[in-house]
Homo-oligomer: A and B are copies of this chain.
Amino acid sequence: MCAAVGQALPTCAQEEKSRMSKAGVNLRIPGPVPLPAEALELAGSQMINHRGSEYAEMISRMTMNLKTVFGTAGDVYFVTASGTGAMETAIVNTLSPGDRVLSLVIGVFGKRFAEIAEAYGAEVTRLEFPLGEAADPAAVSKALAGLPGCKAVLFTHNESSTGTTNPLEEIASAVHRSSDALVLIDAVSSAGGVPISVDAWGIDAVATASQKSWVSPPGIAMVSFSDRAWRAYETARMPRYYFDVGQYRDYLEIGQPPFTPCLPAMYTLDRTLKMMIEEGVEEVFARHEMVAENTRRGARALGLEILPEERYASATVTAVRVPEGVDGKELVSRVRSDHGVVLGGGQQELTGKIFRIGHMGWVDESDVEDALRAVGETLEALGA
């Protein structure tokens, strides 16, 4: 796997492209992302002793590199789970049943974050915004004024269900100005592709997952944990065992995981984290932004409308409105059957109304051009 340098993937990457598809399919869902050949080779490496020195060296290196990407001197942990497990980890280690929590909801994953907190007995107040809009920092400040003693604000950084990215820095700043609440974010579909400065912006826990911008197979969730989060941990009474960060902290001191880790995703992540550092973290973010801009431009050239307004449009997944009179489910289905391009459909209230093009990870122009061409030809075939 050669590192993607600068704004576009280099030639050797282009050569690998043909190996990134399975049976000629262009997987353009918002994760799992298709993997280049060397990432797959790493995922298929032989097992090692997760209590031995080889693993200790690997997890130490990965921890250091993940801190660099996150911009934190605080703690980060690798947990064998999907992104939802990371979200649960952020909640159960910082809160107690009955704690007042503000949850910003701009789509499916914001709802999920609120539901996890409620499942563990938090008293959740939802601040909802229309689908396709971002959360408004001023509204967050106002809501916090009405929630004295609020322990945490939960929100999705990048709502992949609507292709909308919340203004993370501004929201975090509003929270810190208005309250002592912790800032817990679901960055499952943003981290690694969209800037997050954990320490500079005061993010207390970031939850993300290997199969998104990290160019690895699903199986590993990643969580950052700030000093303030550790202070909250001391008194947090939500029950936890598998997701107890205290166990991850104690075992990391001896270079081990508390529980057998998903080695295929760890092997791959080890390499892709190194690649991100080599390419330059800012360059990785710029590359995602450039691909996203081109995707929106290409969709508009087909006469299509992007769901969120430009400034909140996601750098990792683009949500496009299905034109009037077209059945969105049929569109996605025919794009797959006729062109081998797998798009994301709309979820819940947006079912049939939007389609989504994933462009996180190791993606370049040709991937999205191919997807947009397929959409254009299918719309034509459907008479739109």
> Taking beta carbons and an 8 Å cutoff, which residues of A are in contact with B?
20-22, 27, 29, 31-35, 40-52, 80-85, 88, 97, 115-116, 119-121, 209, 211, 217-219, 238-244, 258-265, 342
Contacts and interface: CB of A to CB of B under 8 A. Distances in A.
Contacts of A241: 84, 88, 115-116, 119-120
Contact of A262 (B34, B97, B265): B265
A34 B49 contact: no
B44 A342 contact: no
Given A259-B83, A260-B211, A121 B45 contact: no
Given A121-B239, A219-B262, 6 more contacts: A22-B47, A80-B219, A88-B242, A119-B239, A218-B260, A262-B264
Contacts of A263: 32, 211, 217-219
A210 to B, nearest CB: 9
20 contacts: A22-B45, A22-B48, A27-B49, A32-B263, A33-B47, A40-B44, A40-B46, A44-B44, A47-B217, A47-B218, A80-B85, A81-B85, A115-B241, A116-B241, A119-B241, A217-B262, A217-B264, A238-B239, A239-B239, A242-B243
Contacts of A47: 22, 27, 32-35, 211, 217-218
A33 B120 CA distance: 36
Given A342-B49, A342-B52, A264 B43 contact: yes
A207 to B, nearest CB: 11
A149 B348 CA distance: 43
Nearest to A247: B84
A270 B157 CA distance: 35
B242 A81 contact: yes
Given A241-B116, A260-B209, A35 B29 contact: no
Contacts of A88: 241-242
Contacts of A240: 119
A261 B82 contact: yes
A218 B79 CA distance: 12
Contacts of A239: 97, 119-121, 238-239
A238 B33 CA distance: 35
A52 B22 CA distance: 14
Nearest to A44: B44
Contacts of A35: 46-47
Contact of A218 (B44, B116, B261): B261
A356 B240 CA distance: 30
Contacts of A260: 31-32, 82-83, 209, 211, 218
Sorted nearest first, the 9 A-B pairs with minimum C-beta distance are: A44-B44, A219-B262, A22-B46, A264-B264, A82-B259, A32-B47, A219-B219, A40-B44, A119-B241
Residue from A47, A238, A264, A265 having most chain B Cβ neighbours under 10 A: A47
A357 B215 CA distance: 36
Contacts of A33: 47
B209 A85 contact: no
A21 to B, nearest CB: 7
A46 to B, nearest CB: 4
Nearest to A188: B260
Nearest to A40: B44
A121 B241 CA distance: 12
